[in-house]
Homo-oligomer: A and B are copies of this chain.
Amino acid sequence: MLYFENDYDRGCHPLVLKKLCDTNLTPAAGYGDDEFSERARGYIRAACEAPRADVFFLSGGTQTNAVTIGGLLRPWEGVYAAASGHIGLHEAGAVEFTGHKVLPLPQRQGKIAPGELRASLEGFYADPNHPHMVFPGMVYISHPTEYGTLYTLQELEELSDICNSFNIPLYMDGARLAYALAAVTDVTLPDIARLCDVFYIGGTKCGALCGEALVFPQGAPERFLTLVKQRGALMAKGRLIGAQFEALFEDGLYFTVGRAAVELALRLKAGLEKRGVALFMDSPTNQQFPILENGLLKRLAERAAYSFWEARDADTSVVRLATSWATKPEDVEALFKVLDNLRGGV
């Protein structure tokens, strides 16, 4: 069996596991005050070129989104997200559970268009009824997006400018940030730290067993630790995530993990294109979205795990193929062979 279903189907990168084994018997303080978390914070500040950053380690993405969005919004505010944004679709209403509305904007290849954001904000304040409406209080973007696409530096700068001029924070969901940083892109981690008010560096889908590093480049809001505790997101053994992020950032492993997966994803993409397989989205990251015939997909499922994405028409579907630190070059070659056999045999 070949595994391209997602980027979280194996445990963690061997070096992350090694760190957990090496540190297992070291006594450490609880609730994130341990030495591993402290060192990981230092590495992350350095990688972000954000020496004043506050960093919190939470266990998962939905949790991190809900704590951050619910914690930063004021009671009368909601959060903008692209219509395809994870918080609006696949987090079971976690933001609404905190009492806040997700305000959808059109998705353009999974992204928010800066012009549409500005128009929506201006339209809101121009509407005489706006005191009876949910105030836009934050902008949520995912990078890479749910479709694997990336914001350009110019787009991020425009979004940041708009947020600044309306005095609302720009928040980036970086569940798969390693793959964004490893792609052909003009956006660096320091750019993100400079342009976003808060963002998270995803661990779970980028080589860790669990954990996301939430970064406030200019410092965290008051009592954020208590808020994290209140929302059930403060781990007693904070070391578990701290040590993993220490492993990911002490020697650049996070970037290595990203590069390896993106390289294989691009090889996969090139091979699909060479074979005339249409792609739903032009993704430069570790998720590729080929459009394949349903009959072929049925037989493919016996040999390779993929994710069903959406029906395209009566006969074809979009599926997702994802690479990760656990994908090997020979897995990609084997997948091509399977596909060639299946397509030859159609």
Contacts and interface: CB of A to CB of B under 8 A. Distances in A.
Interface of A: 1, 3, 6, 8-12, 14, 17, 20-21, 23-31, 59-67, 70-71, 74-76, 78, 89-94, 96-102, 128-129, 131-135, 204-205, 209-210, 222-223, 225-227, 229-237, 239-240, 305, 308, 326
Contacts of A25: 10-11, 326
A59 B210 contact: yes
Contacts of A128: 308
Contacts of A226: 76, 92, 131-133, 135
Contacts of A96: 78, 96, 99-101, 134
B237 A92 contact: no
Question: Counting chain B CB atoms within 10 Å of each CB, which of A14, A27, A28 scores highest?
Answer: A27
Nearest to A226: B76
A134 B226 CA distance: 8
Given A131-B223, A132-B226, 6 more contacts: A8-B237, A62-B232, A76-B227, A92-B229, A210-B236, A232-B233
Copies of this chain held together in the complex: 4
14 contacts: A9-B30, A10-B27, A11-B26, A27-B305, A63-B233, A76-B92, A90-B133, A91-B132, A93-B99, A93-B134, A93-B230, A94-B229, A204-B236, A210-B237
A204 B12 CA distance: 20
Contacts of A222: 74
Given A24-B14, A204-B237, A78 B62 contact: no
A60 B236 contact: yes
B21 A21 contact: yes
Top 8 A-B pairs ranked by shortest CB distance? A63-B232, A11-B24, A92-B230, A93-B134, A92-B229, A96-B101, A76-B226, A9-B27
Contacts of A227: 75-76, 92
A93 B71 contact: no
A76 B210 contact: no
Contacts of A233: 63, 232
A326 B240 CA distance: 16
Contact of A223 (B62, B63, B76): B76
A234 B60 contact: yes
Contacts of A11: 20, 23-26, 237, 239-240
